[in-house]
Amino acid sequence: MSDNFLVGQFLVGGPMMWPLLLCSLIALVVIIDRLLNYMRLPSESDAETQLNEIESILEKQGDSGAVEYFKANSGVLNYVFAALLKRFDSLALENRTDIEDMRQELITVTEESGVEYLGRLLNALGTIGVLAPLMGLLGTILGMIQAFDAIAQAGAGDPAAVASGISQALVTTASGLIVAIPTIVFHRYLSARADKAFKQIELYCHAFANTLLVRFQAKRGE
């Protein structure tokens, strides 16, 4: 299949081919970004090392040292740890005394921040999977309008007069499905990867939250 043929089919498809092309490029960027992100997830040993390191920083430098560490380092654990520390500090300022209530608050923060980081851009991917076939359908309707208009002007006895509209209708339908099918497949796959990744880091996030609560209890008992 030559490049000239593909370019020709793209041009035949009419104006809806441009938003479909944009959707396909956005979907490709999101897929690559998420795959690379999940490939960089810490192993169990790396996560354990990172947890120990931040606990040591908290012990020696306090919250300010931990905040600086989070600013200088990226990754899902640091993102969730930073969210936990921020929420914990706000709870402490509220003079909360119920440890179990604070623990539940931190569990909620863990889930929300973890899902936010790991599921970033996946909603956009799902939206493209839904919109692409609808755009193709719209292109089909526009093509059929063009075909019927040609029939009205040239008569039904001239096939060449309606061929352009029919071709546009078929090309946009096919293009919408070509964009939507792999996008939906990757959306489901990446969503499953995000859920699995969260389960891998959840234990270390809860351990960090527990460290914050233990420090809080120790300070309160002084």
Q: Is residue 98 part of a domain?
A: yes
Residue labelled with tokens 């075909």: 147
**What does DSSP assign to residue 94?**
T
pTM of the model: 0.81
Dump pLDDT digits (tens) for 3-47: 565 666 666 667 888 999 999 999 999 999 999 999 988 888 999
Phi, psi values for residue 96, rounded to 5°: -65, 145
Chain mean pLDDT for the chain = 86
Asked if residues 139 and 176 have their Cβ atoms less than 8 Å apart, the reply is yes
Dump pLDDT digits (tens) for 112-145: 999 999 999 999 999 999 999 999 999 888 878 8
Number of H-type helices and E-type strands within the chain: 7, 0
Q: Is residue 77 part of a domain?
A: yes
Degrees (nearest 5) of the Cα angle 143, 148, 153? Answer: 125
Tally of residues, the chain: 222
Question: Based on the structure, what is the number of domains in the chain?
Answer: 1
- pLDDT confidence bin for 148, thresholds 50/70/90: confident
Q: Is residue 148 part of a domain?
A: yes
DSSP H helical ranges for 40-158: 44-72, 76-93, 99-118, 122-154
Distance CA 111, CA 106 (A): 9
Q: Is residue 4 part of a domain?
A: no
Residue labelled with tokens 């990226």: 74
Domain residue limits at 181:
14-220
Q: Is residue 1 part of a domain?
A: no
Dump pLDDT digits (tens) for 186-217: 999 999 999 999 998 999 999 999 988 888 88
Q: Is residue 159 part of a domain?
A: yes
